[in-house]
Structure 1
Amino acid sequence: MHTAESVWEFAITDRIKFGTGALDELGSELEARAINSLVVVTDTELRDAGIVDDALESVPDTITVTVFDGVEPDPDVEIYRAAIATVASHDPDAVVGIGGGSSLDVAKAAGALAGSDQDVLEYVAPPIGEGEPVPASETTVIAVPTTAGTGSESSPAVVVSLPDRELKVGISSRHLYPELAVVDPLVTVSLPPAITAASGMDALTHAIEAYTTRRYDAKADPDSAGQRPDYGGRTPVTDLYAEKAIDLIGQNLRRAVDNGVDVEARRALSLGSLLAGIAFTNAGLGATHAMAYPVAGENHTPHGVTVAVLLPHVMRYNASSAFERYAHIAELLGENTDGMSDRDAADRAGAAVEALSSDIGLPDGLSELGVAEDDIPHLAEKTTDIERLLVGNPRRVDQAALEEIFEAAL
């Protein structure tokens, strides 16, 4: 007889190189793979700031380098198409993404789809696309994150914005994993406080949702109606990654925001983000991310800021589904729960996240992001369509519950 955790899978980026100075070894990694040409996918801001040149300093002159710097925050389908066309026209041995999650997502898609004759949207699930399987590619993809938050360097997914529909959609495939992630905390030292704060809260949300996402067993849960959480549901292995990520981010995010050159804090955040990315890409996410997509799509708000505002309110709603887990989150975030029941300690988890978000200067509510009370029914209705995330939420949600959470977060 199968139990809820008798069979589960765990996947990860093929190789990870982590540590201060890791970027100095990019050149040797390219040489080891006999790379003769590469396309760098990045944005103009990083290129103009010299960060791309710094990242490529160890790359031998014998390797031909082409730079595509057309990535923008929340890249739309046209940016993906342009990057894919650039890679297809140059036919490089490797694609190297340098930047935040947007650049890494575009790089992963460009490396995988440059040889395809189908449009990028065909790989999006219906009703937007046909849900075509992403083909295997011989192009090596290397991810070099310059922020600590998105986890894209360890993720098999990319996010595509559709501004005309005020919508974000995703493509997920094992063929979108980078072959190598080079994570160097020193690259993040120059990040301004606001970006450090938002990206850090994004990583914390990944970790908390991965730790609390429900387990999935189709036989044990016929009500799932064939749905499953995004990725596979939490497992004992994802718990290990998520717990460590919550601890690292919770104890170091304030320090990194207040003192950007605190290398120890930067290293902890980079590691926490990496671990959180590994956790959520296996365990899945929940209502916080599902609710954030329509808010960000309609109000053009940064993803990390949006999830930071929503997270404590979703946690309070979800706490009754797993008091002991939320109580442990409170402890990991530094709350003193001695002598408390799990129920009371669980209440402290949402408060701890709220205090952290406030301390690092993020907005207190959705109203500061442009959301009005009249918007709530519409946002809740759009959220109900994101079943791939909601089905993994530890407590069942419907339209009324979502409106309740949005109201609390306003």
Structure 2
Amino acid sequence: MEISLDVFEQQRGRRFGGANPERMRLAFWEWIIRNQEESRLREWSESGDLIRSPYQVRRHFGQEGDYSKGPIWNFERMGASRTPHPDGRMICIAGEHEDGYDPDFCIYNDVVILDLDGSVEIYGYPRDVFPPTDFHSATLLGDRVIIIGSLGYEEDRRPGATPVFALDLRDYRIVELPSHGESPGWIHSHSATLGPDGRITIADGEWLPPQDDLPILFNFDEFAYDPLTGLWTRLTNRGWRQFLIRDAGGKSFMRDFGPLGCCSSDEEEACEEPPKIEKWSISIDPGCIRPRSFAYEDVETPFDEDWDFGKWRPNERFLVDGVPIGVDLSHPGIKLVVEGVMDPAKADQIAEECRQAVEAATGRPCLLQGDS
């Protein structure tokens, strides 16, 4: 199958559906989907001839480096869901391409049906019926897929609320479901498990707190959603505290596996080598992020082979009075999580001393944000 330049120009961009749903019969979109699905079946080294990414599309049509017409529609996505149906259909819902820094960043709100006979069906929706959605969960429940959560565009986020939608697999219509009770809030990147009682249990993930000055937080509790009533019920309340250490200049922290910036609490002298400070990031050894006035014990943090995006996996842990404290650098800042019950004042002091340790190791001012 070949796509002409004229067809590409007519169908290159994202478009919302005009009905709930609208069957989107667009040859360029179907071509991209087939190429992306074919690449999933091949070894990476054997898929170079398949045109599927916006970069490859621009190069194919002689428009390399031209971003003047906006993002190119594509099926190379993160945060999308793929739900297999017993009849052989694969239900693919929404997702995003890349992040906001990318010229082809886009969050989608479509549904793509892949069938065993090789057919492809694309359904679009009005933005006010089903907003652009990513990093959601999709749970098969009879003739419906229950869609819970989203990160979404910043202007679509409603901190404190949990979006829930139902996709009807008989006609592909999407409706918003009631969502009330003690919910997990604006959550994304979580897991969802259907229980024998018909409720869907949400775990892990990250959520956006209602306060504007707080960072996105990990979810360490479980919540159950009843699709029949729309009622959320909190199942656990662990009360783990979370803190974020940020560079005052806006740089990110990167893990350094060498000796740079590594100062234990027993050493008063400065580090022999300065930290690596790049244009956008600072390299730092997480081993130097320890409190000064509290006795602590480093503990082994084994690699989690079952780790998935949205699941808490710190680089290191140390114990204070038997309570684990996780340290993780895979964020714009350095995340500290008190993984147990601890006096709030003590937790605040430990976090502040860790902030001071980062300042000492990097020679740069740092800010501390807490979860309350």
- Normalising by structure 1, what TM-score? 0.29
> Which of 1 and 2 has higher RCO (CA within 8 Å, sep 6+)?
1
Larger Rg: 2
Compare the two structures and name the one with the higher helix fraction. 1
